[in-house]
């Protein structure tokens, strides 16, 4: 069974999102952290946990101000997160005053600003079945992300970690395999193996072998290994959205910190990793900031690569 791909590209729905406006003088590129290289930034795409939000899952005033100023220059913000479009959005989206689409669940679902699905990818049933069997064999927790629901066989200290991130509360269903299998089963977008990091490190080679050619693996948080439809990533979700919006990747500033941000950072005209970023995100980025997510790294990047270039351009015109 092949992974499910659903795209909704009607002109009416696209029009409800609106075109991304061209900024006035904002520039960016791949040359260095101080010389942006002359390419205009038209869109900022940011990861959420470990990037946009601080370690307490809060939006700092500094970040909010930078986002507001960039929007005033015609450079809007788009979220690209591994999370579901769950309870956390009720606080974050209104404060950011976003009217842009968003990329969720590691690029597997793109929603418009009203929460309507524009694009989605789902796991094939044989992949979900094998993940359930592997988790049972190794004695690790497994969660299934199904739209705005998270299912598990039983809640435990691992599934409880998701509550800190204000994800949809995990729902214990007993037999997870039965809940997501067959014609009446619930469609699954991704699955996450959850355990201590040593167990995840030991599990990953087995998962890679078992799912080779059928699924892609990534990590966003310590103690979690995510299973996605083959070839999917935040990068593919962002790429689809950019095509839908008519924005070239070279005009995008992307911000992230984790392995799951690698493809997005590589896609963007300017990929910027936070000071707290892991090795894979650092290697994929064009710029690594000194400031981390607790020090307003997102605000720093917006100031350096959007606001200051715009001011410089204005001064040259005077």
Sorted by where each begins, the domain ranges of the chain are 43-120+233-316, 125-229
CB crowding 216-253: b at 16 or more within 10 Å, else e: bebbbbebbbbbbbbebbbbbbbbbbbebbebebbbbb
Q: How far apart are the first and last CA of the chain?
A: 62
CA dihedral 211, 259, 78, 244 (to 10 degrees): -40
Look at residue 38 in the predicted model and tell me its pLDDT.
60
Q: What is the dihedral of CA 298, 161, 218, 281, to 10 degrees?
A: 30
Q: How far is CA 141 from the centre of its chain?
A: 22
- What pLDDT is stored for residue 316 in this prediction? 72
Strands 171-172 and 149-152: parallel
Report the chain (318 residues): mean pLDDT per 10 consecutive residues: 48 35 32 48 97 97 97 96 96 94 98 96 97 97 97 98 97 97 90 98 98 98 98 98 97 98 98 98 98 98 94 72
State the pLDDT at residue 171.
Answer: 98
Pairing, β 141-146 against β 43-46: unpaired
3-class SS of residue 57: coil
Give the pLDDT of residue 33.
29
Which pLDDT does position 313 carry in this prediction? 73
pLDDT at position 7, please?
57
Structure confidence at residue 8 (pLDDT)? 52
Is it true that 43-120+233-316 and 125-229 share their CATH fold? Answer: no
Contact between 260 and 106 under an 8 Å Cβ cutoff? The reply is: yes
pLDDT, residue 311, reads 80
CATH architecture assignment, domain 43-120+233-316:
3-Layer(aba) Sandwich (3.40)
Hey, what CATH topology would domain 125-229 get?
Answer: 3.30.1240
């Amino acid at each position: 069974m092949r992974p499910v791909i659903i795209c909704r590209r009607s002109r009416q729905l696209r029009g409800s999102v609106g075109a991304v406006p061209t900024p006035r003088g904002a520039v960016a590129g791949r040359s260095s952290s101080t010389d942006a290289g002359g390419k205009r930034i038209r869109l900022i795409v940011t990861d959420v946990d470990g990037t946009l939000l601080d370690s307490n899952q809060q939006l700092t005033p500094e970040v909010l101000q930078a986002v507001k100023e960039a929007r005033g220059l015609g450079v809007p913000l788009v979220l690209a997160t591994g999370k579901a479009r769950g309870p956390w959005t009720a606080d974050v989206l209104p404060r950011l005053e976003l009217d842009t689409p968003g990329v969720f669940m590691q690029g597997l679902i793109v929603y418009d600003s009203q929460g309507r699905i524009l694009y989605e990818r789902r796991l094939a049933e044989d992949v979900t079945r094998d993940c359930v069997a592997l988790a049972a064999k190794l004695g690790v927790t497994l969660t299934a992300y199904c739209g705005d629901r998270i299912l598990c066989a039983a809640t435990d200290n691992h599934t409880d970690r998701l509550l800190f991130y204000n994800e949809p509360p995990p729902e214990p269903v007993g037999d997870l395999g039965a809940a997501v299998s067959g014609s009446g089963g619930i469609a699954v977008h991704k699955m996450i193996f959850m355990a201590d990091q040593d167990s995840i490190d030991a599990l990953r080679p087995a998962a890679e072998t078992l799912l080779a050619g059928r699924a892609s693996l990534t990590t966003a948080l310590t103690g979690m290994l995510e299973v996605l439809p083959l070839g999917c990533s935040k990068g593919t979700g962002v790429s689809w959205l950019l095509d839908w919006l008519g924005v070239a990747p070279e005009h995008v500033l992307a911000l992230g910190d984790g392995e799951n941000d690698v493809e997005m950072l590589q896609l963007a005209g300017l990929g910027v990793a936070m000071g707290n970023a892991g090795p894979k995100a650092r290697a994929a980025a064009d710029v690594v900031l000194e400031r981390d997510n607790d020090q307003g790294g997102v605000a720093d990047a917006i100031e350096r690569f959007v606001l200051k270039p715009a001011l410089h351009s204005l001064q040259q015109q005077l």
